[in-house]
Amino acid sequence: MDAAGTTRDLRIVPANEASWDDLQAILTGTAGQCQCQRQRLGDHDWWYMPVAERGAILREETHCGDPRATETIGIVAYRGEEPVAWCAVDRRGVYGRLRGSPVPWKGRSEDKDDTTVWAIACMIVRKGHRGERLTYPLVAAAVEFARERGASAIEGYPLVTGGAQIIWDELNVGPVGPFLAAGFREVAHPTKRRLAMRIDF
């Protein structure tokens, strides 16, 4: 076990190095309905789009199964050969829902069109593997993913749990702990339950 309590048999790869079937094995339930498009499209466009169309967009964006692809939008974690977690990480400005939300911007003078700032928009841990602290290595890997692709900074907008009862789907933005462990610092507290956190490279 490492300091974050995670096992060392975890392997995390860019999404284009994972198969589409492996990604879909992680995205079940509400995540399967979303296909990681709500944050990118924004509520209005996402709401009226059929699930199959959302999936088609995600497949095109991830380039799953194409290790030679030069672009992808996230990372997939494996325990052994089993896919166990997904993290959406990309340039902050591509996330339409973030652009329309006060969470990343309240009390700050950030340029929404700054393509050098990246964001962790969503994390999904596969049912049966929740509670295993997989978000700790996932956030750390997302930081390196962004850094290697030329980001000047990366942000996350985790949920402040504070002992309150939380349903799993609320935690797709992640809890605060994994971000602190990865070296993020708080830059704003825009709502009672959300923080804006950041690493500058």
Higher model confidence: residue 72 or residue 9? Answer: 72
CB 35 within 8 A of CB 27: yes
Q: Which tens digit of pLDDT belongs to each residue from 17-58?
A: 999 999 999 999 999 999 999 999 998 899 999 999 999 999
Number of domains in the chain: 1
Q: Which tens digit of pLDDT belongs to each residue from 74-117?
A: 999 999 999 999 999 999 999 999 999 999 999 999 999 999 99
pLDDT surpasses 70 at 61? yes
Does the residue 75 lie in any domain? yes
Does the residue 3 lie in any domain? no
Picking from 51, 72, 61, 59, the residue whose alpha carbon sits closest to that of residue 22 is: 59
- Amino acid at the residue 79: R
Q: Which tens digit of pLDDT belongs to each residue from 125-138?
A: 999 898 889 999 99
Higher model confidence: residue 192 or residue 64? Answer: 64
Does the residue 4 lie in any domain? no
The domain that holds 161 is classified in CATH as 3.40.630.30
Q: Which tens digit of pLDDT belongs to each residue from 157-168?
A: 999 987 666 655
pLDDT at 3: 35
Q: What is the pTM of this model?
A: 0.92
pLDDT at 5: 37
Give the pLDDT mean for 61-81: 96
Q: Which domain holds residue 53?
A: 10-200
Does the residue 194 lie in any domain? yes
pLDDT surpasses 70 at 4? no
Q: Report the distance separating Cα 172 and Cα 175, nearest Å.
A: 9
pLDDT at 2: 38
CB 37 within 8 A of CB 57: yes
User: Which contacts of 112-118 are long-range, i.e. CB under 8 A and separated by 24 or more positions?
Assistant: 115/91, 116/91, 116/150, 116/151, 116/152, 116/153, 117/91, 117/92, 117/93, 117/151, 117/152, 117/153, 117/154, 117/155, 118/89, 118/90, 118/91, 118/92, 118/146, 118/149, 118/151, 118/153, 118/154, 118/155
pLDDT at 143: 98
Q: Which tens digit of pLDDT belongs to each residue from 181-199?
A: 999 999 999 998 899 999 9
Does the residue 2 lie in any domain? no
Does the residue 5 lie in any domain? no
